[in-house]
Amino acid sequence: MHTQFATEKHVKYLKRHLGLLPSSQQSHDVNKMAIIFYSLVSLSAIGIDVAKEYGSSAQWICRHRIALESSGSKVALSGFVGSLTLDIPNTNTVSLPNTLFALLVLRLLKCDEFFCSVRNRETICAFVSTCQVAEDGSFTSVLANKHFLPSPLDASDLRFCFIAVEILCLLGCRKLQDYSKYINVDKLIAYILSQQCDSGGFGSYGEPHAGYTSCALSTLSLLESLACLTDEFKELTLLWLVHRQVSDEGCMQLQCKNPFFDEEDHGGFQGRENKFADTCYAFWCLNSMNILQFNTSATLGTFESAKMYLLSRTQNTIIGGFSKNDVDDPDLYHTCLGVAALKLIEGTFNGVLFLPSAIDVSS
């Protein structure tokens, strides 16, 4: 059983994604910005000086910012595309997720010049503002063609609320009044509160989901509005999160039985009830617990057994990387989330921003 973090193997695995993308990933060109972000943030979290090694690529990343022009609109908007092959005339391919990935990459590469430009900041904030759905305060990830309105074809959910707010944070918003310059914060908070589930946690249609829960809590944390949640709901949410940890001994913290487990999953987290453990949910659950200040010495067991699960079950010590579970091959997304979870446990990762704690976002 491996219980050591295979640093060198992981660094090689991640750098391979930044060189020639494996041919199996060529169809993922649209996800290129995501691939670059997952690789760089993981390398940075491991301790590689990515600004030094990859800083010369910052200008190429900046070229993925596209201005959106509309004859009727007086406000200039801009955002990022995931790939330059997607810069198609008269089609809005700029999206909130690609904009966040690109901004995080530029922060990792210490491209302060980009963040100093008032024009960059204002046009991107205007794009975020336009993605907010007037009716309920949520966000869509793209705009409909021509009219520059939130796309009616796109889902609007807690993921895009989080992405919108983090983009504004990376562009300098800190206090509620900063965010209020661009978005309707009251409506956004009301939307987030509407996604609370009776059993604790957040999700659509009343079913809590660990990913949505992390997005909701991270958004409220950035908005300094966690106090909007009642103590009762916070406790219910902690209880729900604790029960997502799969245990072969029953639930460790609460001395009650967890009937849904595969013995091999011990210590891992599931994202929803009655599911198997999955590497990425270790991050979403631990980050949520961290925000709710559950990470105290009294609950060290939760974090320690999650760490052992990741290192001994889903870490690949031969080719590097982490997989979703103890059966699949490693993939970049689960590698990134596995590394992030381990660094969160070590206390060197800012789970709300999804950046290593050492990365400065103050400029």
State the residues that interact with Zn ion by CB under 5 A: 278, 280, 324
Tokens of 84: 């330059």
We find the least distance from the C-beta atom of residue 184 to Zn ion, in angstroms, to be 32
Smallest distance, Zn ion to C-beta of residue 18, A: 22
Q: How far is the CB of 210 from Zn ion (least distance, A)?
A: 10
CB of 13 to Zn ion, least distance (A): 17
| C-beta of 61 vs 310, nearer to Zn ion | 310
Q: How far is residue 102's CA from residue 100's CA, in Å, rounded to a whole number?
A: 5
Nearer to Zn ion, 107 or 159 (CB): 159
How far apart, in whole angstroms, are the C-alpha atoms of residue 193 and residue 15?
40
Q: Which is nearer to Zn ion, 57 or 325 (CB)?
A: 325
94 vs 282 by CB, closer to Zn ion: 282
Nearer Cβ to Zn ion (137/211): 211
Q: In angstroms, what is the minimal distance from the CB of 333 to Zn ion? A: 7
Neighbours of 167 (CB within 10 A): 25
Q: Residues 130, 150: contact at Cβ < 8 Å?
A: yes
Minimum Å gap between C-beta 279 and Zn ion is 6
∠ CA 173-175-180, nearest 5°, is 75
The nearer residue to Zn ion, 35 or 280, going by C-beta atoms, is 280
Q: Measured at CB, which residue is nearest to Zn ion? A: 280
Read off the amino acid at residue 4: Q
256 secondary structure, DSSP code = B
The total of other beta-carbon atoms located within 10 Å of residue 235's CB is 12
CA distance 16 to 12: 6
d(CA 219, CA 163): 8
Q: Are strands 349-350 and 355-356 parallel, antiparallel or unpaired?
A: antiparallel
Q: Where are the alpha helices (DSSP H) in 171-254?
A: 176-180, 185-194, 210-222, 231-242
d(CA 93, CA 348): 35
Q: Which is nearer to Zn ion, 157 or 278 (CB)?
A: 278
Q: How far is CA 135 from CA 131, 171, 177, in A?
A: 12, 26, 21
CB of 281 to Zn ion, least distance (A): 6
